[in-house]
Structure 1
């Protein structure tokens, strides 16, 4: 007898995470402790911006391989009283002394970055000191807090300080994340000392049966300094000098002038009227313009109807729209990540408060563990934002002094014709835009509620002709996609490998009802209502 074994391993559990509802605010993040921090801020009278800043800082301590003060991001926020949407931009920036010659090409097509552009010698744009871009995270969240928040800086950073001092509990999910970077981590002493024991992730329990905790180097002390002296201490003063000295010792081109001259910006979002709905997204160096382009195409190609969910034809239209959008993005904007390993190291959180203020915040180190350079004096894990640049000269996204690269982040605010508002975003590198695009369509075109929008099957199209299909999609839709497109695969939505993005969504249903949903497969993502 011959058996057909199409897959060696396939997860057998069926997971659901129903939406959480509340009348006083909702926080959706990738980690329950960060959600708890944000919800606690709301419960103590803080607004959505206060909760997002506190929750974002907490994320940098409970999943430090994804984001933190050594990175950057984008925040799209809605001020309910002013009925106004704004964007805070704080992406990483190339060093002022950056030079394309710092990234010599080997002639090979594929390096560790898995980008479609040529490999760089020693993958120095992927990890190590030359991969580090000037961080903007603290400038950005401080600007948001000062402009739109109601709490003092010392109060919003306090939970992160406590979490960093407490240490990182070790469980199987922590071990999984550490293993993703373990091979490269062994090349960098400071980060290896923190996260590995004899070359492997720590055991979950010590000999006495107590939960092992990973101590985050000097990061707790650095956060306390920032609490006392304010977020600008990262960029000017004694702490900034320590950071620049550590960077110089590591071999980075970032100097204290890079820190001093970094600025975050409040900008006007792209506003797009999608059918009878309004969508707001970042306008520069993000996936916002690509999202708007895709929505314009979708409005022309897909007719509205009374169906409760997309049919086979709709998924075909999604696929063609995503293929066309990425073809334009790759050709004209310069972003060239490979779909197989573009999951990135990014965190996203969405918040709505009792007054209807909303925040969609995406923050990142770029790759898992960023550059793998942990600064010894401060314990800061630095980003590898230079990997966003095309190492070839004379392209729209080439390396240049002080330039900000094109990123995949796409935090959005939406106003649905039926009166609901939403804050939506995702992490997952090149998977962010397809996830946001489809969930937005589920909300607007099919009037789905929060639970259904996050549980509805999706596809991923990340820049090549490969179409990845969630395995719970209808047989008719799968068959149609396989017939119309030559390169398809069916996969489970899982924590590893992550193939469909990691979305977080909150919805203002009415003045007295709010809901939130988070990434379903993750064992640590959670929505908490106030």
Structure 2
């Protein structure tokens, strides 16, 4: 028995060594993010000897400064990591948590309806942020450089300022009425009403001081001591319910990713409390029951809409924080279950969502950011970070520069009622103290391609409820061996079960395809604009070549090192 066990172990090590010998490590470092300043800062850290995890801290922190409308240390997110030296893939869950004083009905008015303003535009809507904890965790366990080095660029841009761009000006206008409610936000982000143009300098000296404290003292620099006291005092002054104990008790969680195979590809994606990985596994699992590659364009599009519909239906029914609710993960991702779902799909007619049944208990962020990184050792990071709506809930805590999230709206404030994105939730995602709200953030890795040309994709995007379907469509482009820019440029469409409409970008469907879909019973609704901001990296494992691409819809920037 001992001999046989040792022989088996030896064979496994031998096969693993051979497999790894066939992989050529990346010839270049690569970073793709939503802002040129963040991408360049990340590459500088890599060129200075840091690894992908160090660069991730730098990129995330700079984005939190130059994209205050998207994600900062007042928010949270999911960080997919692959550590090359031990072939380890995991997700760091830095999702916000409900404060200890949170209650199930905290956003309901006297009539029992959800008070939307209370749920998205006040300090009460802020969960305990996880971003700073994630940075400290990465530095302590995965990086090679101190936070003083990796946060330096963010501290610089917070202190000296960054030039406003068109996206900043657009979103500041969208949230103007909320930002001007709160003095620090009005002063910092609206310049007290002064006229702003492209190039206007936005300075955040209080945020620079908070980042300095994080750099000096790590976790304790944000979640304990002076910064924590100021945060709690400010939150409570605006009607929030944070306590110093809430901050001190915050922890990130390392979770095993959702992992599955599809036609020779292996996909790793975010597990609960993200719904992204489960939805991707379900959609690809349903597709595997059909001869998708042999279909015409109308059939392919119809099938994709139908698998989206069913995955989002199950999202509403079953998913939440797995530390609080029992999720029937094995059942809803089993081959038998997915076969049953696919059997309910008619290729001739759209399935009315109402015929699939509403979640038992019935009667995610528009602003988020993403970045992708690969270093020359083969370490990988896909991180999707958020404060939920643009500029979060609009509250900036005086003296800290911390702009608060409104992620409490991602809970089911009233099970069965839609949130800001129209997503329905059930009891699985009801508010509870210490619980993390369900998310659509879907940072993902995919190994794919023929045996003689295996490739690795690092991919993700912001976009609220549409994140999952954007990543899904991007992965399909990769599986078709399309160029990396086409992954992010592909015109997008989306179905989320309720409302029962196909949302689409104007160039997603030509007149012939529209007519074919409408003939099958689909209701089509243009969103009237482009959406999403995808950033991705591809590594060819045979020769070590690396590519990176950023979405042309926004201002992102992708670059590989010389």
Question: How far 1:294 moved relative to its partner?
Answer: 1.3
Question: What secondary structure, in the 3-state scheme, does the structure 2 residue paired with 1:125 have?
Answer: helix
**Partner of residue 433, structure 1:** 468
**Partner of residue 352, structure 1:** 374
What is the rounded CA distance, in whole Å, between the counterparts of 2:232 and 2:191 in structure 1?
29
Question: What secondary structure, in the 3-state scheme, does the structure 2 residue paired with 1:304 have?
Answer: helix
Higher deviation after alignment, 257-266 or 223-232: 223-232
What is the rounded CA distance, in whole Å, between the counterparts of 2:273 and 2:111 in structure 1?
28
Question: What secondary structure, in the 3-state scheme, does the structure 1 residue paired with 2:211 have?
Answer: helix
Question: What secondary structure, in the 3-state scheme, does the structure 2 residue paired with 1:301 have?
Answer: coil
What is the rounded CA distance, in whole Å, between the counterparts of 2:504 and 2:400 in structure 1?
43
Query: What whole-Å deviation, never above 9, does each CA across 1:361-414 have from its counterpart, x for those lacking one?
Result: 011111111111100021110111111111126822111111111011110111
Query: What whole-Å deviation, never above 9, does each CA across 1:419-473 have from its counterpart, x for those lacking one?
Result: 10111111011010000111112212x1223122223333122342221233334
**Partner of residue 119, structure 1:** 114
Question: How far 1:264 moved relative to its partner?
Answer: 0.2
1:403 aligned onto 2:402: no
- Determine if contact 1:140/1:265 at 8 Å carries over to the other structure: no
More helix by percentage: 2
**Partner of residue 218, structure 1:** 206
Question: How far 1:153 moved relative to its partner?
Answer: 1.4
**Partner of residue 420, structure 1:** 455
Structure 1 residues 474 and 488, CA, compared in 2 at 3 Å: closer, same or farther? closer
What is the rounded CA distance, in whole Å, between the counterparts of 2:528 and 2:546 in structure 1?
29
2:109 to 102, 105, 108: 105
Higher deviation after alignment, 472-481 or 374-383: 472-481
The count of corresponding residues between Structure 1 and Structure 2 is 478
In structure 2, runs of 5+ residues without a counterpart are 1-25, 322-357, 359-363, 416-425
Higher deviation after alignment, 286-295 or 69-78: 286-295
2:533 to 495, 502, 507: 502
1:45 to 36, 44, 49: 49
**Partner of residue 178, structure 1:** 172
**Partner of residue 527, structure 1:** 558
- Determine if contact 1:100/1:399 at 8 Å carries over to the other structure: yes
Question: What secondary structure, in the 3-state scheme, does the structure 2 residue paired with 1:346 have?
Answer: strand
**Partner of residue 237, structure 1:** 225
**Partner of residue 522, structure 2:** 486
- Determine if contact 2:313/2:496 at 8 Å carries over to the other structure: no
1:12-27 mapped onto 2 (5 Å cutoff): 23-27=27-31
2:281 to 292, 308, 311: 292
What is the rounded CA distance, in whole Å, between the counterparts of 1:482 and 1:503 in structure 2?
29
1:32 to 33, 36, 44: 36
**Partner of residue 64, structure 2:** 60
1:311 to 297, 303, 306: 297
**Partner of residue 491, structure 2:** 457
What is the rounded CA distance, in whole Å, between the counterparts of 2:397 and 2:414 in structure 1?
29
Question: How far 1:490 moved relative to its partner?
Answer: 4.3
Question: How far 1:242 moved relative to its partner?
Answer: 2.1
Structure 1 residues 250 and 212, CA, compared in 2 at 3 Å: closer, same or farther? same
Structure 1 residues 54 and 293, CA, compared in 2 at 3 Å: closer, same or farther? same
**Partner of residue 183, structure 2:** 189
Scaled by the length of structure 2, the TM-score of the pair is: 0.80
Q: CA RMSD in A?
A: 2.3
- Determine if contact 2:272/2:320 at 8 Å carries over to the other structure: no
Question: How far 1:147 moved relative to its partner?
Answer: 1.9
1:392 to 384, 409, 414: 414
Question: How far 1:275 moved relative to its partner?
Answer: 2.0
Question: What secondary structure, in the 3-state scheme, does the structure 2 residue paired with 1:423 have?
Answer: strand
Query: What whole-Å deviation, never above 9, does each CA across 1:478-499 have from its counterpart, x for those lacking one?
Result: 33223224310346653xxx3x
What is the rounded CA distance, in whole Å, between the counterparts of 1:291 and 1:426 in structure 2?
14
Question: What secondary structure, in the 3-state scheme, does the structure 2 residue paired with 1:225 have?
Answer: helix
**Partner of residue 162, structure 1:** 156
What is the rounded CA distance, in whole Å, between the counterparts of 1:271 and 1:153 in structure 2?
31
1:471 aligned onto 2:506: yes
What is the rounded CA distance, in whole Å, between the counterparts of 2:407 and 2:486 in structure 1?
35
What is the rounded CA distance, in whole Å, between the counterparts of 1:491 and 1:94 in structure 2?
32
- Determine if contact 1:175/1:201 at 8 Å carries over to the other structure: no
Structure 1 residues 197 and 40, CA, compared in 2 at 3 Å: closer, same or farther? closer
Question: How far 1:74 moved relative to its partner?
Answer: 0.3
Question: How far 1:201 moved relative to its partner?
Answer: 5.6
What is the rounded CA distance, in whole Å, between the counterparts of 1:172 and 1:415 in structure 2?
36
Structure 1 residues 243 and 491, CA, compared in 2 at 3 Å: closer, same or farther? closer
In structure 1, runs of 5+ residues without a counterpart are 1-21, 109-117, 205-210, 337-341
**Partner of residue 268, structure 2:** 280
